[in-house]
Chains A and B, each alone.
Chain A
Amino acid sequence: MKRLFLFTVLIIFCSVSSFSQTTKQIKGKVTNEAGVGLPGASVLLSGTQKGVQSDNDGNFTISIPDDGKKHTLVITYVGYASQTIVTDGAASIAIKLKLESKENEDVVVIGYQTKRRVDVLAPVSSISSKDLKDVPLNSAEQALAGRLAGVRVTTSEGSPDATVNIVVRGGMSITQDNSPLYIVDGVPIDNALASISPQDIQSVDVLKDASATAIYGSRGANGVVLITTKSGKPGRTIVQYNGFVGTKKLTKELPVLKPYDFVEFQYERARWGRYIGSPNTSAEQTFATNWGSYWDTLLNYKNVPNVDWQNIMMGQTAFTQTHNISASGGNASTTYNLTLTNNADQGIILNSGYNRNIATLKVDSKITKNLKVGVSGRYTDQLVTGSGTSDPGSTAYNRLRQSVRYKPVLTGGETVGTYDPAYAAETNSSSLSLINPVLLDNAEFRRRYTKVSNFTGYVSYALGSHFNFRSTFGYTLSDYKENFFEDTITPDAMLNGGGRAILQITTTTIHTTSNSNVLSFNYKIKNHHSIDGVLGHELTVLRTDAAITRLGYVGSIAIPTPTNTISGALPGTPFASYPQYTSSEAKRVSFFGRINYSYDGKYLLSLTAREDGSSKFAPVNRWALFQSASAGWRISQEKFMRNLNWLTDLKLRAGYGTTGNDRINDYQYITTFNPTSVYGLSNGSTIGYLPAGLSNAFLKWETNITRNVGFDAAFLKNRITLSLDVYRNTAENLLIAAPVPTTSGYTTQIQNIGAATNSGVEIAIGSTLIQKKDFTWGINFNIAFNKNVIDKLATAQNFYYDNSGSLTGQTADYIVKVGQPVGAMFGYVTTGMYQVGDFIPTYNTSTGQYTYTLRPGVPSNASIVGTAYPGTVKFKDLNGDGVVDANDRTIIGNANPKFTGGLNQTFMYKNFDASVFVNFVYGNSILNANKIEFTNSFTPDANVLSLMKDRFRYVDPTSGALVTEPNALAALNANAKIWIPSQTTGAGAFVLHSWAVEDGSFLRLNNISIGYTVPAKALRRYKISKLRFYLTANNIATATSYSGYDPEVNARRATPTTPGVDYSAYPRARTFIFGVNLSL
């Protein structure tokens, strides 16, 4: 390997060295058939590394040796057939390039092979660097959203490093990871899109169906994303700079009560006891102490400045910038591409930020006529700072609530950074404890480091003209480290640190090694039959090492001074059972083959088989065979179709195949113990072994069967293209973390139970609507419909509940049920609030107030949210038994959209270009857990959403008098829109009801971009071959009825069965960007 490296370095040096010879100049012009100059065409002097690019009008000047000999120039231009011109002494030449027929140009990477798109029998969605250039985002994943039919890309939240979920055709697995397999330049790399700069991507092809993915066997079950990175092109060294700067801004705030409304609400809250006939004098005293005792004085709060915590915390105008510089080039035998990228991104939230540096080098070399080698290396170094808003843990550790609920008024000389311990104690109920959000954000000091090194190399050897052998080797080392310091005021320090500050350091190292050896062949028999295919094997080894240390500081850190550095020797003592180390290793071995047959290019057949072995299963269940068959008919090649001028191409396709899944934790088939149990003997911490789980010796592969029928058509010389696919995918022996009776001592066991189906339709349409000399208008539209159904669960099990864990102590909020999709939200049906008429009023002579008892026949919520009074929330008694209880829950939402898609339009007018991209999601529900929590009043003096201003009232807002007389109460609330914020604590505070399940449909004007390319003439004297400026706006507007920050959200990812929860997510920003593309 060392030798190969030296060799590579040598090649680069050679390619940039120059000649010293007598030369003469030849001028020329490269045009298309219509005579329009082609800018940026490559003109290479054959047999040398010498080359130039044409300018904006297609003109070029190249020096050739003045030795009287004839020289050959090779002229290439993307989309056109390359031409070879032999110089005949003329000083000026004109070159007319012919359009390459589209079918020849458009190639697709499909498992270990590249194929012309017209010959591909499987549904593949692709996007190229051209599509990505208009989306100057730092995440390639986000750039894919809405652009690929049947590929749903959901960004979990708005933070700069947010997790992006990519689900192909609904995802097969119920409880296991549904992310697709990523292959970068032939090597599988986990989570690849996060470590690659979008500017370095040449193309992304997504394989959606077993007819293409079966060759990847076990790993292809959830689709395969093939990423090809940019390579150098033969010719002179081209230096490019792509950069942009921009700003990001919060799009929306959640409106909360302003000071007066807040204090008035607290006044009313303190009198709840009187309203229900059981005065709570201590609550009233506390209110008086905090805010004043007389109604009149409360009016002063009308003049108190409002403290907008959301604006303070998240209202920053954040600066974002990206710089990408590349040098590429090469000669006829060796090409290279070197890039450096820096992304710096301030988050909109205080202290949050993101900085990433990526360096890549890719070299391909043809050593002899038959031997090709290539190496590439990539190093990614990323730092994310700040604690953000969300946390996979329980409510207490999620921080958005601090910004929304903290009192909107500062009293007694407080500033935006004052710690108010009394307030924290007063609001400490149901894991809340409000702490000044600015202070808390400073006290939770978090840095996440990611360092990924990747090396890929291949050797390809042509054995004659029909066979080729290629060996590919990949190694990726990913290092993740998180430093998290939590000062004494933080929830973790309070709950788990015994009031001590906590330092937690987590490191994870993942080594991935892979090797594949593939023999490919192609053969033509006479003129009709053509056969090609591959035969190969692959090995992958995945080793994960993780360490977590938790130290508790004693004393030395004082409130409210946050410590912003973590360095040197630590005065802390480790928590019991820490540090913890875990290591595991998984291996896979595979053998595979594929044969493609074509008769006259009309009848196409493809067969694949793959035998996979996985270390995750016991020896008897270790191996599985996956196979697929697909067939195609290019009707347009038939004689009877040839006369149809308007039809360029038409191909029918059908495919059937199986894939598998082994994405479970390692060693699940044997009983193991971890040293993570603690028992406090002698006031110490004795470490004990904890069974890792209930093992299952019978585990085997999960099997997925995919069926696909579709067609690809092109009309009017490719001016319009259309693809349509219909599929039905079923999964059997699903690997599910099945709930087992807890009397076994465990809650779940990984089992091969259950079956599920995804069925759907995908349509992709592309068209060049207008193609004039000065103006082109192209559109790309895609839409995908998918339906997910669970067909079977465990023996004698029709359903089980799941809990997203978004709200502490909440009952199950999801149900996994046969006949329903994954993501069915489960809860009560809201029917508004109890009215005065629902009660029998009783006059109490001693207090002079009325108390209310529910009329017979009116169902009571008492066992769920506490005793009913006029104005409290009311749920539907679904089973009609007169009581609302756990039996009255039902499915109240479905997180799966009915359809998703996008529409991209591109325009070119002279030197201007523009694009407008819209994406949409329709028919999904969002569980807005924020809304449940932020309209609750389980502690005094916590703010609520401003919609609660229209609440049912029992204190007259003008006089401050308690109103209990039935007629007066009804009159006061004639226009009340919403119930009294509940004071119930614990689980009763967090009951899911249908009011909080909202329609998540949206239509987002995702991206508008306008660019201007400076005419080549103006650039010539600066030796610049291309210069383009552009302005882009991202996340411009979203049409949605959703009331939260953003409908694209998935905050609770720890449990795959609870998608679509909005809880404490980092809000999404709007971005404006100015950028430049420069090419020398």
Chain B
Amino acid sequence: MLCDMKTVFNKKWLIILISSFSIMTISCNKYLQENPITAYGTNYVFGTVNDAYKVLIGAYSQLAGDQGYGIRLSMYYTVDADDICGPTGAGDNDRRDIARYAVTANDLQLEAPFAQIYAGIERANICIFNIPTMALYTSGTAAQKAELQRMYGEALTLRAQFYFEAVRNWGDVPAQWVPSSNEPTLFVARTDRDTIYNHILNDLLTAESLVPWRTQVTALGDPLDERITLGAVKALRARIALFRGGYSLRRNTVTMQRRSDYLTYYAIAKQECADIIAQPSQHSLDPSFKDLWKNNVCAVKQIQDPYGEIVFQVAMSGGNSAAGDSKLGYYDGPRVNNARGNGLFIVPTYFYSFDRNDQRRDVTCVPYNVAADGVTKIGVPTLSMADGKFRSDWVTPAIPPTSTAQYFGINWIVIRFSDVLLMYAEADNEINNGPSAAAIAAFNQVRLRAFGGNATLAGTANTPTTHDAFFNAIVNERWWEFGGEGIRKYDLIRWNLLGSKINDAKTALLALSKYQVPSVSPYNQGVPYSSLAVSMYYFTTAKGDDSTIFANSYYTPAPSSTPSGTTKITFLTPAQIDPTTGNTTYMGRFAQFFTPNKNELLPIPQVTMDANYMLVQNPGY
């Protein structure tokens, strides 16, 4: 047969074929090596300062957008508390259930924000893992090294912020400190929150030596923008220290507990705050509370307010949708032309708790909706009063009232200097079992600004000097100072006051609906509800953005006849009382299903539970 083959098949052909085959085999593996064309490999992106910066931007970007502080983390998870209440209704397996404390692990608003927080951690981990090992980090020019150090510190701070957000919502969570591609397993069990807090407190300490102060960034050649500076690192470290030293719901005991060494952490907070307070050229209060919000936050012109009151903020890019923008001013704030708003509401008793001269009331609470012309204001009753720090009608250039846009580029404010002052006062009071003069001064600084610098109205001479009274004063002052900033609920949890403050608000709401004097503090210290104006008259041509739109006072009974040029509204609706429960309509929609020792934490999203057999659910879910 072989012989036959030779005759029919020229030897030459066979040799050519066989040799060409073998040449090809050898060169094949090389031939099959493909490298990314438009994507970039790890070595490439950590090859230059500029590319490393882009990876860091990728980590920053996880703060923003619908699943970050654009709406979920800022406006879904932070309510209901005794300042702000979420949208009406319940039983939607969605944001209303979170607000009403009826949330389940299957709630649809849990998984994506949880995942985004961890995407942020992963991206920060990639930076933390790679930046310090870049050749330029040790052998670059001084400028390159300084830039890379800043970026390394920012990455550590971002990771701390992401972990902090995860822990304050979910308690013990899985923790990874290196990129996932370097982890031997992705099925990670929950790490105790104290361990995570200690880790990020240490990270932040490291970051303090790497990140410059606010006014020093220009020396690096960086613009003054929303990137993290030393003030943010220190303020965040103070905030986390207070949470580490505060109460939280423990899984093993299913009770709210604080660790016995909590004062160690109050000391950290005090020191960090003192460091910032000692740098008034970096951070101080804007003399006008309204100016801060109206012109520096909402107007979207100013990146950094001139006083540096905004210590840490999340940058939102105007009009850039779900991934990188915020719905601040669209989801919350007053309605405009019957659209926008209706996402968050002022708890009516919170509105009345403000001192009548407190300038924060008319910034925090919006008594109007905007008419179709975009300028004229329409008075609204207490039941539908929106929160007001993020208002679309304050955005410049003005958004047309007919616009269907949902993203206005309003930044989310994470930490303000007034928070630093009040954290200082609080920490000092705990450490010394009573406030020092410095603590009282810090407290008074916040209060004085709220009353336009008028010490008499602010009552700063009467600031309490004993531990308990000063602590209570801080609890209230933080309530008034930070309403609608997503701070109250978590403050109440770390003080273990969430349940009692919800009950107090409900008691006050019931009294309000009956025009009676509430029995609980601080609601019983202001004007008795019996003397309030049930009706309000707003000027038909009102253009103002505060209580000046009304012809009469909130605090005295209204005139019975309608003043000319005004329109009457029933401002304080005598809410219908449910005969079986005794609840008012409003109480039915305020923190309705809060269960102590359960709702201080959110359930781990079911999708995450299903994907990781190592996880155990939070108590009660």
Residues of A that sit less than 8 Å from B by CB: 278, 421, 424-425, 428, 463-467, 469, 488-489, 493-500, 519, 523, 525, 537, 552, 575-576, 581-589, 591, 613-616, 619, 622, 666-667, 670-675, 677-692, 694-695, 697, 739-747, 749, 796-797, 799-801, 809, 811-812, 842, 844, 846, 853, 862-867, 885-886, 984-988
Q: Taking the nearest CB of chain A, how far is it from the CB of B191, in angstroms? A: 10
Q: Taking the nearest CB of chain B, how far is it from the CB of A568, in angstroms? A: 24
Q: Chain A contacts of B25 at CB under 8 A?
A: 591
**Residue from A519, A585, A678, A745 having most chain B Cβ neighbours under 10 A:** A745
On whether the beta carbons of B608 and A743 are closer than 8 Å, the reply is yes
A867 to B593, CA, bound (A): 14
A744 to B125, CA, bound (A): 10
A619 to B90, CA, bound (A): 56
Q: Chain B contacts of A809 at CB under 8 A?
A: 94, 108
Q: Give me the 9 closest cross-chain CB pairs, A-B, nearest first.
A: A745-B122, A680-B317, A688-B57, A498-B319, A688-B58, A672-B39, A986-B94, A741-B612, A464-B8
Q: Given that A464-B8, A863-B97 are contacting pairs, would A678 and B323 also be in contact in the complex, using a CB cutoff of 8 Å?
A: yes
Partner of A741, one of B24, B59, B123, B187: B187
On whether the beta carbons of B95 and A986 are closer than 8 Å, the reply is yes
Partner of B64, one of A679, A842, A988: A679
Q: Given that A587-B31, A796-B187 are contacting pairs, would A683 and B317 also be in contact in the complex, using a CB cutoff of 8 Å?
A: yes
B530 adjacent to chain A (CB < 8 Å)? no
On whether the beta carbons of A863 and B102 are closer than 8 Å, the reply is yes
A742 to B114, CA, bound (A): 8
A695 to B179, CA, bound (A): 11
Q: Chain B contacts of A691 at CB under 8 A?
A: 58, 122-123, 126
A680 to B64, CA, bound (A): 8
Chain B residue nearest to A588 (CB atoms) is B32
Chain B residue nearest to A866 (CB atoms) is B91
A746 to B106, CA, bound (A): 19
On whether the beta carbons of A886 and B105 are closer than 8 Å, the reply is yes
Q: Chain B contacts of A552 at CB under 8 A?
A: 319
Partner of A988, one of B93, B119, B319, B404: B93
Residues of B that sit less than 8 Å from A by CB: 1, 4-5, 8-10, 13, 17, 21, 24-25, 28-29, 31-42, 45, 51, 54-61, 63-64, 89-97, 102, 104-106, 108, 111, 114-115, 118-123, 125-126, 173-174, 176, 180-181, 183, 186-188, 223, 225-227, 300-301, 303, 315-325, 338-339, 400, 402-407, 409, 576, 579-580, 585, 605-608, 610-613, 615
On whether the beta carbons of A800 and B611 are closer than 8 Å, the reply is yes
Q: Given that A582-B38, A864-B93 are contacting pairs, would A690 and B58 also be in contact in the complex, using a CB cutoff of 8 Å?
A: yes
Chain A residue nearest to B60 (CB atoms) is A679
Q: Taking the nearest CB of chain B, how far is it from the CB of A184, in angstroms? A: 25
Q: Taking the nearest CB of chain A, how far is it from the CB of B167, in angstroms? A: 13
Q: Chain A contacts of B605 at CB under 8 A?
A: 742
Q: Taking the nearest CB of chain B, how far is it from the CB of A682, in angstroms? A: 5
On whether the beta carbons of A689 and B119 are closer than 8 Å, the reply is no
On whether the beta carbons of B608 and A741 are closer than 8 Å, the reply is yes
**Residue from A463, A523, A588, A690 having most chain B Cβ neighbours under 10 A:** A690
**Residue from B1, B58, B60, B64 having most chain A Cβ neighbours under 10 A:** B58
Q: Given that A499-B405, A743-B612, A987-B93 are contacting pairs, would A537 and B21 also be in contact in the complex, using a CB cutoff of 8 Å?
A: yes
Q: Chain B contacts of A886 at CB under 8 A?
A: 104-106, 606
On whether the beta carbons of A741 and B317 are closer than 8 Å, the reply is no
Q: Taking the nearest CB of chain B, how far is it from the CB of A844, in angstroms? A: 6
Partner of A742, one of B38, B111, B303: B111
On whether the beta carbons of B315 and A842 are closer than 8 Å, the reply is no
On whether the beta carbons of A681 and B225 are closer than 8 Å, the reply is yes
A242 to B231, CA, bound (A): 79
A844 to B108, CA, bound (A): 36
A647 to B404, CA, bound (A): 76
A286 to B180, CA, bound (A): 54
**Residue from B17, B39, B320, B615 having most chain A Cβ neighbours under 10 A:** B39
On whether the beta carbons of B39 and A683 are closer than 8 Å, the reply is no
A615 to B31, CA, bound (A): 8
Chain A residue nearest to B301 (CB atoms) is A683
On whether the beta carbons of B36 and A670 are closer than 8 Å, the reply is yes
Q: Given that A583-B37, A680-B324 are contacting pairs, would A743 and B93 also be in contact in the complex, using a CB cutoff of 8 Å?
A: no
On whether the beta carbons of B405 and A801 are closer than 8 Å, the reply is no
A672 to B605, CA, bound (A): 29
On whether the beta carbons of A844 and B579 are closer than 8 Å, the reply is yes
A939 to B575, CA, bound (A): 26
On whether the beta carbons of A576 and B324 are closer than 8 Å, the reply is yes
A465 to B580, CA, bound (A): 100
Q: Chain B contacts of A746 at CB under 8 A?
A: 119, 122, 180
Chain B residue nearest to A465 (CB atoms) is B8
On whether the beta carbons of A743 and B173 are closer than 8 Å, the reply is yes
Partner of A745, one of B119, B403, B606: B119
On whether the beta carbons of B33 and A619 are closer than 8 Å, the reply is yes
On whether the beta carbons of B58 and A615 are closer than 8 Å, the reply is no
A421 to B610, CA, bound (A): 43
Partner of A675, one of B54, B173, B576, B607: B54
Q: Given that A463-B9, A740-B611 are contacting pairs, would A667 and B24 also be in contact in the complex, using a CB cutoff of 8 Å?
A: no
Q: Given that A679-B317, A680-B325, A682-B303 are contacting pairs, would A744 and B176 also be in contact in the complex, using a CB cutoff of 8 Å?
A: yes
On whether the beta carbons of A496 and B322 are closer than 8 Å, the reply is yes
Q: Chain A contacts of B321 at CB under 8 A?
A: 495-496
Q: Chain A contacts of B223 at CB under 8 A?
A: 682
Chain A residue nearest to B96 (CB atoms) is A986
Chain B residue nearest to A519 (CB atoms) is B17
A372 to B585, CA, bound (A): 89
**Residue from B57, B95, B111, B125 having most chain A Cβ neighbours under 10 A:** B57
Partner of A689, one of B45, B188, B303, B404: B45
On whether the beta carbons of A497 and B319 are closer than 8 Å, the reply is yes
Partner of B92, one of A428, A467, A866: A866
Chain B residue nearest to A690 (CB atoms) is B58
On whether the beta carbons of A679 and B61 are closer than 8 Å, the reply is yes
Q: Chain B contacts of A489 at CB under 8 A?
A: 404
7 inter-chain pairs at a CB distance below 8 angstroms, sorted by A residue, are A463-B8, A463-B9, A464-B9, A582-B39, A674-B39, A685-B320, A744-B122
